[in-house]
Structures are given as C-alpha cells and as structure tokens.
Amino acid sequence: MEALRQYVFSIVAASMISGVVMGFLQGGTVKELLKLICGLFLAFMIISPLHQLDLSDFAIPGETEKQTGQDIAAEGKELAEEAIADIIKAETEAYILDKAAQLNVELEVEVTVSMDDPPLPMAVSLSGSISPYARRRLEAILTDEIGIPKENQAWTG
C-alpha cells in the first residue's frame, strides 16, 4: 500500500510540476517542445512501475480446485450411500421382524448391508428360540425375498 501511495503522489506531483512549467511559458516553439517533453515525462511516470507488477498473486488456478471438487462430490455420494444403507438396514430388519411376528416368533435381528452401489443386505444374524418349521419359512423368506444366501444367515439361541 505504501508503494501505491508513493506512485499516486509521484503522478500528482509530476503533473503539477508540468502544469507550473507550462504556465510560465507564453507560446511558440519552445512551449510546444516543452509540452511534448512534459507529456513524455508524465507517460514515463505512469508506465514505469508497471513492470514491477507481480502477476503471480492472481494466476489462474485450476487443477487443485478440480481435484477438490471431485473429492467433495465423492464425499457427498458416500454420505448418501451411507444414509441409504442405514435406511435399508433398518427397513430390512423391520421386515424380518414383521415376518417373524406373523409366525409367532420373537427374534433379535442384525442385518449387515454391503457398501456397493446400490447397497444391499448381504448377511443377517438372528437370535431367539424358534421352531424348525418357522425357521425353514424364515430362511426361505430371507433367501427368496431379501436375497441373503443361506450361508450368510447366522442363527443363534
């Protein structure tokens, strides 16, 4: 800012000096010549500091911003997938509990959801007392309706 102040003052001072010099002369060739010299002097005062201008401060950015944008967008996508996975887990567990209740069985259910795109139920662990008939029915529901293969169904209790 100090350099800028100096620059502004130098232009004002230079133009005032030129004005005073021009004011003392009456006319003729000498005045014309002085007018040219004063004009050149002013032009030099205005243009001379421009070569010191540091253009690196406002260099066009690009690659970093592009990468950051892609990273943030990927985070957003991941956030949405996690939210979808949470809902799928809760809804699937509710569905299984509902089917178990229809068979008069009380169970505790824990569904594991894959983090693929789209996220799907991949495994389940069930605990509670259950008759062989009800278990066969529930296994069929888990395999056919929810798509969890038999080897990924863990039964305890």
Partner 1 sequence: MRYIVLTMLFLLAMAQPVSALEITAPEVPEGGAELMPEDTSSFGDSLLELVQKAIRAIRPDLAEASRICVAVIAAVLMIALLQSISGSVKTVSEYAGTAAVGAILLGSAGSMIRLGAETVTQISDYGKLLLPVMTTAMAAQGGITSSAALYTGTAVFNAFLTGLISGLLVPMTYLFLALAAANCATGEELLKRIRDMVKNAVSWCLKTILTVFTTYMGITGVVSGTTDAVTLKATKMTISSVVPVVGGILSDASEAVLVSAGLVKNAAGIYGILAILAVFLGPFLQIGVHYLLLKATAAVSGIFGSKRMTELIGDFSSAMGLLLAMTGSACLLLLISTVCFMKGVG
Binding site for partner 1 (CB under 8 A): 4, 7-9, 11-12, 14-16, 18-20, 22-23, 38-39, 42-43, 46, 53-54, 57-62, 65-66, 68-70, 72-77, 79-80, 83-84, 86-88, 91-92, 95, 117-121, 144-147
Q: How far is the CB of 26 from partner 1 (least distance, A)?
A: 14
Collapsing DSSP states into helix, strand and coil, what is residue 116? coil
Of 90 and 131, CB closest to partner 1? 90
Q: How far is the CB of 95 from partner 1 (least distance, A)?
A: 7
Of 53 and 129, CB closest to partner 1? 53
Q: How far is the CB of 130 from partner 1 (least distance, A)?
A: 20
CA atoms within 13 A on the CB side of 19: 6
Of 4 and 156, CB closest to partner 1? 4
Contact 157, 129 (CB under 8 A): yes
Contact 127, 97 (CB under 8 A): no
Contact 45, 16 (CB under 8 A): no
Q: How far is the CB of 152 from partner 1 (least distance, A)?
A: 14
Cα 81 to its chain centre, rounded Å, is: 17
Of 121 and 126, CB closest to partner 1? 121
Collapsing DSSP states into helix, strand and coil, what is residue 154? strand
Of 1 and 29, CB closest to partner 1? 1
Contact 42, 19 (CB under 8 A): no
Cα 9 to its chain centre, rounded Å, is: 45
